[in-house]
Each structure stands twice: as C-alpha cells, then as structure tokens.
A and B are shown apart, each in its own frame.
Chain A
Amino acid sequence: MKKRGVALVMAAVVAAMGISGCGGKAKKDSETGKAEKIRLMVWSPSEDQSKDSGEWLQTTCEDFAKLHPEWDITFVYGVADEATAATQVAQDPEASADVFMYANDTLTTMTDANALAKLGGKYREEIEKTNSEEVLSSLVKDSELYGVPFTTNTWFMYYDKSVFSEEDIKNLDTMLKKGAVAFPLTNSWYTPAFYIGNGCTLFGDGTDESKGVDFSGKKAVSVTDYLVDLAANPNFKIDADGSGLAGLRDGSISAIFSDSWDANAVEEALGENMGAAALPSFTLNGEQKQMMSYAGSKAVGVNPYSKNMVAAVELAVYLGSAEAQMTHYELRNVIPCNTELLADEKVANDPLVSAQNDTFNKTSILQPFVAKMNNCWVPVENMGKGIRNGSVTHENAAEQTEAMNEAMNSDGI
C-alpha cells in the first residue's frame, strides 16, 4: 500500500513537471522587452554545419540575427538532410524545426501531414523575382508556394576530356564508339531518361494524376529494344554500387552519369580532364532523341506550427537569398539557382554549374510529385534489371514494356 502511494506521488511529480515546463516557456515568450526573445530551431544536412566546410548554417544564421536587432534569437541546430527531412517533420511537425531544408519530391508527403507552411505576400513576390519559372513550379502545389528554393536537383554527365571531344558528348552512341560509358540502368531515377526522351509521359505534364503514366505503345517498345542493344554493347557498362566511379578511378570507364555530390570524387579521379555536361542525345532508329532526366529542387521550408512565424519565414527567405546561396556555393559547391547569381560571371563559368543548369533547363522534365508517382519506381527498376539479366529480349520487349506500363499505372506493389 505504501509503495503504491509512492508511485502515485512520483507520477504526480512527473506530470507536474511536464505541465510547469510548458507553462514556464509560454510566460517567457510573452514577456517582451526591447528585443523579443525567440528560439528558432533549424535543421540542415550535417555538412552545412561542419567546421571543415565553413559552418555555412551557423554563419548565415548569425548574419541573419545581426540584420534583425528586433529579435534576440537563440538558434538550435539539428541534422536532417533534404531527402529525409520530410519523414522527420511529417512524423511530428509540432516537435520539428521551425526552418528546415527539403527536396521537392517530398512535398506531397509534407503537405499531406500539414507540415509545410505556405508562403505568400511580399515573401512570395521576392522569391518569384529571383527564380526561374521551372524552379518555382517545382515548389508549387495547387498554386500555393511551399518553399524558398536554394538549388536545383538533377543528374548529369561527367566525362573524361582526354577521351571525348566537345562534339562527341552530344550523342551517346558516338561516345560509345570512342570509350566506355557507365549508366545506372538498374536505377529508376536514371533509366526513364530514355523513355521520356522518346515521348513517353508521366501524369500529363507531371501534375495531373488522372492522366496516368504513358510508357506504352511503339514509342516505349522501341526504347526497350534500344536498351537491350545498349546493354549488349561491350563499351556500355551498367553502373551499380559505385562501379562507375571505381571505373573512372582505374581508367576503365570514361563517362558516368551522376549528381553534383560526386563532383569531388570525380575531380580526384580525373583531375584536369574532368568534364561535366548536360545529357547527350541517343540515336533511335536513325533519329536523334534527347535523353531527359528527372529534375527537382531543394528548398527551405517553414513549419506551420512555428511559434515565431514571422521570424521563421524571414529566416527561410534569407537562407535562400542570393548572398546565402553564394556562400553556400563557395563553401560547399551547392549550385545556386538564383537567377541573378547565375548571371554572375564567376558562377556562370563553372562547368559544373553550367552542366547542372543546362540539364535542368534543357534536358530534363520536372519530376512529378503527385502521390501516384510512388508506383513508378519499382517497375522501371525491374525493367532495368531484366535488361541486365537478359530476361528482357527483342522477342518479348513489347510484352515486357506493356507489363511495366501496367505496373506503373496500378496501385499494387
């Protein structure tokens, strides 16, 4: 009996602590002096906060604090990279950062969980002024803007300048005659490039879920046929588990397709011969077709549950501003997307920047972020694997392509 009493007292104490903890905080917020005391939690990838790459986030936040003497801001930093921030925030928006960075393909996950604030008014105007249509459209859903873009996100080509000339890299088949090219055929972020290049579409213009996926008919089958031949080409290597980079290092491969995060590794492997370019075209039944990658953007988002909404939005806009993008680029090679910065000579002459932006502007489609897009990854991956294993051949190409199309349009797993 006595023990039970103790347990009850303990429980009461714990509960009281919880309540008084919350109460205390609320009081502090309302007791406004000259400078309002606020606490902002900011999440970013760990590289943004590491000493080795210049503590971009901390410096930028401190600069922001200096610009706003009306607030006495305490920053709390957390680590969440753009790809996984969505799951973290959607799990519990109330206990998440006020400002965080996310990749635009996770937009629907977050809006569904009501974890992303809409930006409007003067903030929206400011963002619209300094970003291209394409970048903006990657963050707009039902004509509401959901973030401040700070970089584009797509894949492009790295190549060895000593093997391929500027002329060669315009066509994949020409390249294959001169040197070995690795392409991640079993990765469904990459493989659709060929299908989309030949006129296949995803959800109309990418936003209309009811239109479904059109990866069927002659246009798709001829691509499957092309890919079967491609996989049989001795100069074509399938890049998986990092084999492309390993090939660049030992010289057995002269071109790979990847994202800007591999830039340092490629530079180490190729040195002065490192080249980066937008995607090549490919020759399909005598016709030139352009490979089209998926593209998206990374953006700074604001938590709708933030207790200091104005400050949070201001900070988000500042983190995506031209100055912040410039330091981000200088410190971490994060390729800017601000149109004023892209006009800057120093930025424009960087081959990496032009490769990524050329890809984004010319040889890519906006990666659809409708919910049904989730069904589109596995079937394409299976197609790539089938081609690699030889289970997809010229004989059954039509059948297999239709099966892929059907799977992409179905809700089943």
Chain B
Amino acid sequence: MAAQKMHSAKKKRMINNVIVHVSLAVLAAIWVFPIVWVILTSFRAEKGSYVSTFFPKEFTLDNYIRLFTDTSILNFPKMFMNTLIIAVFSCILATFYTLAVSYCLSRLKFKLRKPYMNMAMILGLFPGFMSMIAVYFILKAIGLTEGSLIRVALILCYSGGAGLGFQIAKGFFDTIPYAVDEAAILDGCTRWQVFKKITLPLSKPIIVYTVLTAFMAPWLDFIFAKVICRANSDQYTVALGLWKMLEKEYIDSWYTSFAAGAVLISIPIAILFLIMQRYYVDGVSGAVKG
C-alpha cells in the first residue's frame, strides 16, 4: 500500500515536471525566437527585406563580409570603432562617477545629502532626451560639435549624468558594515583609501552591474548620437548606421547586412558580460573571511 502511494507520488511529480518543463521550453522558444530570426537573417543569401520562409533557402557569409568591405556608403568598421571608443571611455567615467557619488551618499554625512538625494530622484523622473536640444546648443557653444570632437561631446553626454543613477550602488554600499570603515579610519586610512581599498573590493557585484549598464547605454543609444552627429557621417555610431540601413533607399540591398550588424554589436556586450560574470559572487561574505 505504502509502496503504491509512493509510486503514485513519484508519478505525480514526474507529470508535474513534464508539464513545467514543456511550458518552460515553449516560453523559452518564444523568447529566443526573434534573436534566432535575426541570426538566421544575417546568414541569408536571398536579397531584399521580405521573405516568405522562416529558414533562409541558402546560407552565406557575404552579409558580414560586405559590412567590412563595402565601406563607401555606410562605413561600418569606422562606426564600430567610433562606438567602441565612446562606449569604453564613457563606461570608465560613468562607473567612476556613479560609484563615487554612491559612496559619498552612503558614507559621508553632509548637509546637502538629503536634498541632493531628493533632487536626484525628481530629476531622474524626467527622460534624458528632453534636454537634448539644449545639450546640443551647449556643446556647440563650447565648440564640440565639429569633427572628431564629437566623440568627446558624446562621451560627456553619456557619462555626465551618471551621478544621478546612484540609487542601486548606494543601496549596496549601505549593506557593508560601517564598522569596517571605522576600523580602517582608526588605522589611519583617508576616506579615499577606505573607498579604494575596502569598499570597492567588497562591492564587485555592484561594480560589475554598474560597468555593464554604463557600457550598454552609449553602445545602444540612438537619440543623442543623432542630434549631435548631424551630417558628420565619419562620426556616426553603429546605432545611426544601422538605422540608415533601413532607410527606404537602402533597405532592399542592406537588409541582410543590417541583421549581420545587429549580431555583431551584441558581441562586445556578450564578451564584457562573460568576463564580468564570475565576479557576481557575494562580496560581503569575502570581507568576513578576510
């Protein structure tokens, strides 16, 4: 009797598992579907933007090759390098700003602390592109909207507001015991040293998170690049280039290369994520051990 009961419980669990896994598999397929489609399109040999079949009839690498060889109309390698340079520098700057602001707000007590946090909260409610025309004219007044200085302008744009996005990192710093800081200060550390030698090594997960978001924002941004680059096609970023490929004059011949470009721009993000992923461990537990 008991054996039979166990048997049926086992059976029940198995049925449950089957149902759960099948529905998860279906959902996973639906979620991955668009990505698979883009990847398949990037290898498609038939031309044009319209297809009647999901799977390409023929496969080719030409779409990728074309992106890097046919540079007379849309110079993809150049755009890729522009974006990479901008993204790397704004990533470094923005990460530093965010972490520094978070540290100050978490650890230092000063009069403006509360008002600043409120102000940041309210400013954060407005979308950034609301100010884009104003930003453009300010950058123009400083003379940053011509030639290769556009890169500097874009780096400033993407990193300048980073200090407002402190909330998550500050929340993380708050969880690090204050006693650790006090001990360090008693031992003669300056605030900067506490930040560099104690807080940062304990905060790897949040640093990883900040770096990733700080890198992705400029990497994927379209609107600021569009407003600031204007007719300077040698300063275009990939987002602008990919958008150009879908204009009515180009879409028919560039559509498959567009998909190839879309696949390529996901590679740096993927690499960055893979490298940083291993730091996604609990930093605070390390502090107790060490």
Seen from chain A, the residues whose Cβ lies within 8 Å of a Cβ on chain B are 14, 17-18, 21, 43, 45-47, 50-53, 78-81, 83, 88, 91-92, 95-97, 241-243, 245-246, 249, 259, 261-262, 265
CA A267 to CA B207, docked complex, whole Å = 55
CA A17 to CA B142, docked complex, whole Å = 8
- B251 located at the interface, meaning its Cβ lies under 8 Å from any Cβ of chain A in the complex: yes
Asked if B252 and A262 sit within 8 Å, CB to CB, the answer is yes
Q: Bin chain B's interface residue count.
A: 20 to 34
Closest beta carbon of chain A to B240's beta carbon, Å: 10
Asked if B136 and A245 sit within 8 Å, CB to CB, the answer is no
Stretch in B49-57, B192-200, B211-219 touching the partner:
B49-57
Stretch in B92-100, B230-238, B270-278 touching the partner:
B230-238
Asked if B136 and A92 sit within 8 Å, CB to CB, the answer is yes
B-chain residues with CB within 8 Å of residue A97 when the two chains form the complex: 231
Beyond A18-B141, A242-B50, A265-B252, 7 additional pairs, beta carbon < 8 A: A50-B72, A78-B231, A83-B247, A241-B49, A242-B49, A249-B47, A259-B248
B-chain residues with CB within 8 Å of residue A246 when the two chains form the complex: 48-52
7 CB-based A-B contacts, threshold 8 Å: A46-B73, A52-B72, A92-B140, A92-B230, A241-B50, A246-B48, A246-B51
Chain B 123-153 interface residues, beta-carbon cutoff 8 Å to A: 133, 136-137, 140-143, 145
With A78-B233, A79-B233, A81-B247 as contacts: A95 and B227 at CB distance below 8 Å: no
Interface contacts (Cβ under 8 Å), in number, total: 76
Asked if B142 and A18 sit within 8 Å, CB to CB, the answer is yes
A-chain residues with CB within 8 Å of residue B58 when the two chains form the complex: none
Partner of A17, one of B70, B72, B133, B143: B143
Asked if B230 and A80 sit within 8 Å, CB to CB, the answer is yes
Chain B 244-278 interface residues, beta-carbon cutoff 8 Å to A: 247-249, 251-253, 255
Asked if A242 and B233 sit within 8 Å, CB to CB, the answer is no
Asked if A46 and B49 sit within 8 Å, CB to CB, the answer is no
CA A46 to CA B74, docked complex, whole Å = 8
Chain B 2-52 interface residues, beta-carbon cutoff 8 Å to A: 46-52
What is the chain B residue whose CB lies nearest that of A100? B231
Partner of A21, one of B143, B145, B248: B143
Asked if B233 and A245 sit within 8 Å, CB to CB, the answer is no
A-chain residues with CB within 8 Å of residue B231 when the two chains form the complex: 43, 78-80, 88, 96-97
Q: Which 6 A-B pairs have the closest CB atoms?
A: A78-B231, A79-B233, A50-B72, A242-B49, A242-B50, A246-B50
A interface footprint on B92-130 (CB within 8 Å = 1, 0 otherwise):
000000000000000000000000000000000000000
Asked if B48 and A95 sit within 8 Å, CB to CB, the answer is no
With A50-B73, A246-B48, A262-B252 as contacts: A14 and B142 at CB distance below 8 Å: yes
B-chain residues with CB within 8 Å of residue A249 when the two chains form the complex: 46-48
Asked if B49 and A95 sit within 8 Å, CB to CB, the answer is no
Asked if A81 and B47 sit within 8 Å, CB to CB, the answer is no
Asked if A242 and B230 sit within 8 Å, CB to CB, the answer is no
Seen from chain B, the residues whose Cβ lies within 8 Å of a Cβ on chain A are 46-52, 70, 72-74, 133, 136-137, 140-143, 145, 227, 230-233, 247-249, 251-253, 255
What is the chain A residue whose CB lies nearest that of B51? A246
A-chain residues with CB within 8 Å of residue B143 when the two chains form the complex: 17-18, 21
Asked if B48 and A245 sit within 8 Å, CB to CB, the answer is yes
- Majority secondary structure of chain B interface residues (helix, strand, loop or mixed): loop
Partner of A91, one of B52, B230, B232: B230
A-chain residues with CB within 8 Å of residue B142 when the two chains form the complex: 14, 18
A-chain residues with CB within 8 Å of residue B74 when the two chains form the complex: 46
CA A81 to CA B47, docked complex, whole Å = 24
Closest beta carbon of chain A to B55's beta carbon, Å: 16
Asked if B140 and A245 sit within 8 Å, CB to CB, the answer is no
CA A50 to CA B141, docked complex, whole Å = 31
A-chain residues with CB within 8 Å of residue B46 when the two chains form the complex: 249
Q: Point out which of A52, A79, A249, A262 has the most chain B C-beta atoms below 10 A from its C-beta.
A: A79
Asked if A46 and B233 sit within 8 Å, CB to CB, the answer is yes
What is the chain B residue whose CB lies nearest that of A51? B72
Asked if A91 and B49 sit within 8 Å, CB to CB, the answer is no
Asked if B72 and A92 sit within 8 Å, CB to CB, the answer is no
CA A369 to CA B238, docked complex, whole Å = 33
Closest beta carbon of chain A to B176's beta carbon, Å: 27
Q: Point out which of A78, A80, A242 has the most chain B C-beta atoms below 10 A from its C-beta.
A: A242
Asked if B141 and A92 sit within 8 Å, CB to CB, the answer is no
A-chain residues with CB within 8 Å of residue B49 when the two chains form the complex: 241-242, 246
A-chain residues with CB within 8 Å of residue B136 when the two chains form the complex: 91-92
B-chain residues with CB within 8 Å of residue A78 when the two chains form the complex: 230-233
What is the chain B residue whose CB lies nearest that of A97? B231
What is the chain B residue whose CB lies nearest that of A244? B50
What is the chain B residue whose CB lies nearest that of A41? B231
CA A97 to CA B230, docked complex, whole Å = 11
What is the chain A residue whose CB lies nearest that of B72? A50
B-chain residues with CB within 8 Å of residue A53 when the two chains form the complex: 72
Closest beta carbon of chain B to A368's beta carbon, Å: 21
CA A291 to CA B245, docked complex, whole Å = 31
CA A25 to CA B261, docked complex, whole Å = 41
Asked if B249 and A81 sit within 8 Å, CB to CB, the answer is yes
What is the chain B residue whose CB lies nearest that of A46? B73
CA A88 to CA B229, docked complex, whole Å = 10
CA A80 to CA B50, docked complex, whole Å = 27
CA A242 to CA B143, docked complex, whole Å = 42
A-chain residues with CB within 8 Å of residue B133 when the two chains form the complex: 91
Asked if B73 and A52 sit within 8 Å, CB to CB, the answer is yes
CA A262 to CA B48, docked complex, whole Å = 11
A-chain residues with CB within 8 Å of residue B48 when the two chains form the complex: 242, 245-246, 249, 265
B-chain residues with CB within 8 Å of residue A88 when the two chains form the complex: 230-231
What is the chain A residue whose CB lies nearest that of B233? A79
CA A53 to CA B230, docked complex, whole Å = 23
CA A17 to CA B141, docked complex, whole Å = 11
Closest beta carbon of chain A to B149's beta carbon, Å: 11
CA A298 to CA B223, docked complex, whole Å = 27
B-chain residues with CB within 8 Å of residue A50 when the two chains form the complex: 72-73
Asked if B137 and A92 sit within 8 Å, CB to CB, the answer is yes
With A97-B231, A242-B49, A246-B50 as contacts: A261 and B140 at CB distance below 8 Å: no
